[in-house]
């Protein structure tokens, strides 16, 4: 197998820069992304304070990543739709609503995962031992 051309790796590094720029733009311009950022920070702090297991970290990271990816795709779709036309179009509105619904579904799933991981640990912390697993 032939090695990739010399410029291949530089192009990959540039693509990470563009992706990071998109994440920064997402957080700067989208209020919901700032809420996701605050939630992610809270989850990480709680994870350290409550000493979550490696498996629990994996679930929390997967859930957080799922919400972030859904929010980024939803925002990108809305941005593109608004670029195409600012006039009201029923089909475009439905597409935007479905994408927003996808974010909501991801957030609900993440909240359930967070509850499964954190609630038993918080109950133990406050002295309730009936539900700790």
Burial of residue 9, with CB atoms counted within 10 A of its CB: 0-12 exposed, 13-18 middle, 19 or more buried: exposed
Residue corresponding to tokens 């990480």 = 44
Which residues, 6+ apart, have CB-to-CB distance to 106 below 8 Å?
Answer: 66, 67, 69, 70, 71
Active site residues: 71
Distances (CA, A) of 65 to 14, 43, 91, 96, 128: 22, 12, 28, 21, 31
| Segment (H or E) for 76 | helix 54-84
């Amino acid at each position: 197998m032939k090695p990739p051309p010399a410029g291949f790796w530089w192009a990959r590094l540039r693509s990470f820069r563009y992706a990071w720029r998109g994440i920064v733009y997402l957080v700067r311009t989208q209020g919901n992304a700032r809420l996701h950022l605050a939630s992610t920070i809270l989850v990480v702090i709680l994870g350290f304070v409550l000493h979550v297991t490696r498996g629990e970290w994996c679930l929390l990271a997967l859930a957080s990543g799922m919400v972030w990816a859904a929010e980024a795709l939803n925002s990108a779709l809305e941005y593109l739709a608004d670029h195409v036309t600012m006039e009201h179009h029923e089909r475009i509105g439905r597409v935007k609503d479905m994408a927003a619904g996808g974010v909501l579904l991801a957030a609900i799933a993440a909240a359930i995962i967070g509850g499964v991981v954190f609630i038993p640990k918080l109950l133990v912390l406050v002295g309730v031992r009936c539900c700790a697993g």
